[in-house]
């Protein structure tokens, strides 16, 4: 209790203004939090058939521990944890953790029920039990964050000081450009807000939408200045007033936070309630909503982006969790052994008592405790949990291997494979991209559609069904394999409109109602371009970051020297080669008119928009394009772009002429590219373009003329 008293006195220190009784009473009450330790969806099936999502290990620490550490560090002194699916496991974990010790500054209350089906059910129960006495933090048990919410909390309380019934929620967002790897494509939103008051006027998810519509009434709300923001990452952290729980009780159709936000915005004039937002540039906040986000957040954790929540900190205070941190972000727990010739290149975490064989290559991977890795094993972006046995000559790429799995000799896991608990695969087997293997037969899903919401008593009977399943198929899991190929959910059974859920993110279905013009202009976009779900490939993320940097440079009139500094910092952050920098820079600049105006531009319109940009950004190009090979790399990137945009070949000549006149590209390099660079029939066809032939002829004549003058 002494710790809590001290914390309260610090919060009031230095404030000499005399407070009224109501305000003083609010500040003396402990800051509370509601933590939802259930996702209420099947996103992580079949993994979460055996372990609740909140207890899944991320960098060898259960996800819920990150959330509780975040809440405690922000000054939360009382947390109500609501559990449904496998609540006994969550309760057991918490009772053994530091959070339930008498010395914990954050008092934890565990509330379980097999009747919760949504966030709405939980908050209605909060209201019925009258648990909340003042403003509280609302968060899910799979949120990882180090954001300081003190300012957001102060702003929220300040608004409520003037009128307690107006501001009911403050949503926390972080500035993040579209395509950034820690930004989940499913949660991309378009937010319209009042610039002065930070009041949310419009909130809309953009995943899968080809067009956005804004209700006209938001522009008649009396605000003098608006901001339309798409550069925000939803941290899934909300500061709520006590009225939020009451509003969920009054509106039984509110099941999710999105339902609540939409309902408040639609009925704002009637009810008088408002939602505000707080945007931060600092800190880290992300929700592990699918396996792509699991990959991204794990990577960020190892790369120390969530400091001070780092692997060696052992903030959860668990025995055997301590590890050492060395160069290139390599972490080793106690009792780790490394065989002769094995390399841990970078961003590697190895748990306690794990043995690595000889001649292994490990990079960007996490290995849990008590694992055995054989000889000649390649692990790249592999997430191996505890008590796993990996035999020799195995390759694992961007895949997850759960507790108790055995991977026999000669097995290769392609990208985005998942081996659920206690599976055995191999030997000499290759699992194709996206393969999920589980000890649960897929038919279980059809036979018991509501098993996600079974109580803990029902779990035992559920597991008995496995003994009645069909024999394992050696063609699927290998001659010594044990497990079944888990099929993805049917696209006909989608849970959210046209979006089908799967482990690695949402699959976008065809938008049958979109008009033909929109489909024609946007349906032809290349994978990884804007409008598509971002990939975790660092090159793709770097490209999106460069585009954002150049755009900000135009908007804020930032000098080219500063743009170069920022691009260089991105180069090192994403480990991008100089060649890739030049090629990506060229592609980003060439795509920029389409980014501004859409793909329907004619060649003349495209050229009119592009040429001024080339002049503005010429110093940026000159910083990177210096050697002869640099010129050829840029020209190759330019050619690739125009081969993808055959209707704009007429613009190529003017682009080449402009880059030549701006001294970005040299005459010799252009001539060499033209004569030697053709690699395909389409490439050769491009070189037969009459305009290009005339430009090359002009260069040749200019060269002969200059030689004659000499």
Mean residue pLDDT across the chain? 78
Measure the CA angle with vertex 517, ends 512 and 643; round to 5°: 110
In this prediction, residue 80 has a pLDDT band, given cuts at 50, 70 and 90, of very high
Peptide bond into 379 cis (omega under 30): no
Looking at residue 508, its pLDDT comes to 41
Are 244 and 260 within 8 A, CB to CB?
Answer: yes
Q: Which residue has the tokens 């008088």?
A: 272
Instruction: Give the number of other Cβ atoms within 10 Å of residue 561's Cβ.
Output: 10
In this prediction, residue 370 has a pLDDT band, given cuts at 50, 70 and 90, of very high
Q: What is the pLDDT of residues 181-218, one digit of tens each?
A: 777 777 788 888 888 888 888 888 877 677 777 777 66
Q: What is the pLDDT of residues 210-240, one digit of tens each?
A: 777 777 766 666 667 888 888 888 888 999 8
Q: Is the pLDDT of residue 16 over 50?
A: no
Question: Which one has a higher pLDDT value, 439 or 708?
Answer: 439
How many angstroms separate the CA atoms of 256 and 260, rounded? 6
Looking at residue 372, its pLDDT comes to 93
Average pLDDT (44-58) is 88
With a pLDDT cut of 70, the percent of the chain lying above it is 81
- Name which of 139-143, 253-257, 491-495 the model is least confident about: 491-495
Are 551 and 185 within 8 A, CB to CB?
Answer: no
How many angstroms separate the CA atoms of 402 and 392, rounded? 18
DSSP secondary structure letter of residue 424 = E
Tell me the CA distances in angstroms from 142 to 63, 235, 553, one per residue in order.
5, 11, 35
Question: Which one has a higher pLDDT value, 710 or 587?
Answer: 587
How many angstroms separate the CA atoms of 218 and 162, rounded? 23
Peptide bond into 308 cis (omega under 30): yes
Residue ranges of alpha helices (H) inside 662-689 are: 667-676, 681-686
In this prediction, residue 349 has a pLDDT band, given cuts at 50, 70 and 90, of very high
Half-sphere exposure of 512 (CA within 13 A, CB side): 3
Taking each helix axis as running N to C, give the angle between helix 243-250 and helix 119-129, from 0 to 180 degrees, rounded to the nearest 10.
Answer: 110
Are 249 and 127 within 8 A, CB to CB?
Answer: yes
Q: What is the pLDDT of residues 27-39, one digit of tens each?
A: 567 889 999 988 7
Taking each helix axis as running N to C, give the angle between helix 628-644 and helix 578-597, from 0 to 180 degrees, rounded to the nearest 10.
Answer: 30
How many angstroms separate the CA atoms of 140 and 37, rounded? 6
With a pLDDT cut of 90, the percent of the chain lying above it is 15
Q: Is the pLDDT of residue 577 over 90?
A: no
Q: What is the pLDDT of residues 607-664, one digit of tens each?
A: 888 888 888 888 888 888 877 788 888 888 888 888 888 777 778 888 888 888 888 8
């Amino acid at each position: 209790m002494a710790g809590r008293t001290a914390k309260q006195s610090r919060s009031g220190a230095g404030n000499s203004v005399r407070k009224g009784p109501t305000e003083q009473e609010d500040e003396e009450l402990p800051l509370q939090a509601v933590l939802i330790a259930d996702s209420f969806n099947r996103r992580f099936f079949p993994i979460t058939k055996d372990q609740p999502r909140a207890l899944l290990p991320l960098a060898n620490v259960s996800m819920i521990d990150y959330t509780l550490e975040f809440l405690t560090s922000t000054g939360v002194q009382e947390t109500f944890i609501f559990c449904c699916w496998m609540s006994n496991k969550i309760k057991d974990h918490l009772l053994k953790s530091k959070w339930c010790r008498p010395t914990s500054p954050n008092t934890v209350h565990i509330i379980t029920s097999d009747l919760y089906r949504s966030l709405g059910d939980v908050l209605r129960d909060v209201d019925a039990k009258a648990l909340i006495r003042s403003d509280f933090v609302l968060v899910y048990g799979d949120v990882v964050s180090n954001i300081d919410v003190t300012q957001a909390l102060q702003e929220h309380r300040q608004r409520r000081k003037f009128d307690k019934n107006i501001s009911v929620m403050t949503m926390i967002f972080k500035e993040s450009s579209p395509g950034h790897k820690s930004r989940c494509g499913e949660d991309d939103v378009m937010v319209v807000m009042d610039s002065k008051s930070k009041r949310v006027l419009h909130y809309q998810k953009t995943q899968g939408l080809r067009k956005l519509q804004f209700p006209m009434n938001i522009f008649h709300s009396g605000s003098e200045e608006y901001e339309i923001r798409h550069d925000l990452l939803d941290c899934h952290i909300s500061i709520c007033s006590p009225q939020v729980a009451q509003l969920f009780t009054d509106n039984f159709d509110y099941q999710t936070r999105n339902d609540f936000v939409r309902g408040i915005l639609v009925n704002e004039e009637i009810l008088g309630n408002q939602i505000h937002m707080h945007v931060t540039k600092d800190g880290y906040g992300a929700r592990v909503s699918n396996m792509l986000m699991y990959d991204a957040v794990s990577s960020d954790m190892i790369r120390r982006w969530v400091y001070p929540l780092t692997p060696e900190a052992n903030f959860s205070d668990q025995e055997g969790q301590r590890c050492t941190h060395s160069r290139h972000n390599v972490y080793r727990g106690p009792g780790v052994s490394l065989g002769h010739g094995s390399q841990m290149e970078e961003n590697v975490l190895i748990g306690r008592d794990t043995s690595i064989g000889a001649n292994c290559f490990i990079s960007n991977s996490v290995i849990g405790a008590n694992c055995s890795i054989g000889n000649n094993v390649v692990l790249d972006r592999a997430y191996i949990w505890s008590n796993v046995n990996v035999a020799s000559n195995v390759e694992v790429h961007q895949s997850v291997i759960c507790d108790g799995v055995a991977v026999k000799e000669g097995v290769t896991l392609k990208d985005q494979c998942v081996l659920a608990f206690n599976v055995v695969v191999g030997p000499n087997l290759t699992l194709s991209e996206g393969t999920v293997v589980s000890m649960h037969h897929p038919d279980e899903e059809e036979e018991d559609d509501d098993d996600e919401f079974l109580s803990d008593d029902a779990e035992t009977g559920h597991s008995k069904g496995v003994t009645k399943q069909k024999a394992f198929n050696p063609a699927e899991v290998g001659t010594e394999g044990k497990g079944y190929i888990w099929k993805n959910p049917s696209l006909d059974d989608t849970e959210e409109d046209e979006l089908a859920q799967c482990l690695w993110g949402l699959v976008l279905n065809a938008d049958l109602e979109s008009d033909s013009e929109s489909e024609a202009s946007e349906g032809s976009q290349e994978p990884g371009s804007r409008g598509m779900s971002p990939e975790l490939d660092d090159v793709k993320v770097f490209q999106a970051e460069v585009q954002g940097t150049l755009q900000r440079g135009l908007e804020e009139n930032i000098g080219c020297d500063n743009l170069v500094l920022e691009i260089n910092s991105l180069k090192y952050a994403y480990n991008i080669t100089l060649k890739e920098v030049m090629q990506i820079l060229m592609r980003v600049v060439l795509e920029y008119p389409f980014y501004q105006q859409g793909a329907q531009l004619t060649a003349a319109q495209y050229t009119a928009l592009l040429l001024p940009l080339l002049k503005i950004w010429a110093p940026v190009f000159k910083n990177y394009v210096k050697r002869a090979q640099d010129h050829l790399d840029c020209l190759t990137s330019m050619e690739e772009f125009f081969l993808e945009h055959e209707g704009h070949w007429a613009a190529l000549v003017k682009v080449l002429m402009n880059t030549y006149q701006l001294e970005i590209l040299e005459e010799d390099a252009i001539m060499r590219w033209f004569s030697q660079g053709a690699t395909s029939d389409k490439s050769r066809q491009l070189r037969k373009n009459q305009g290009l032939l005339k430009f090359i002829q002009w260069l040749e004549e200019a060269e002969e003329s200059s030689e004659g003058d000499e």
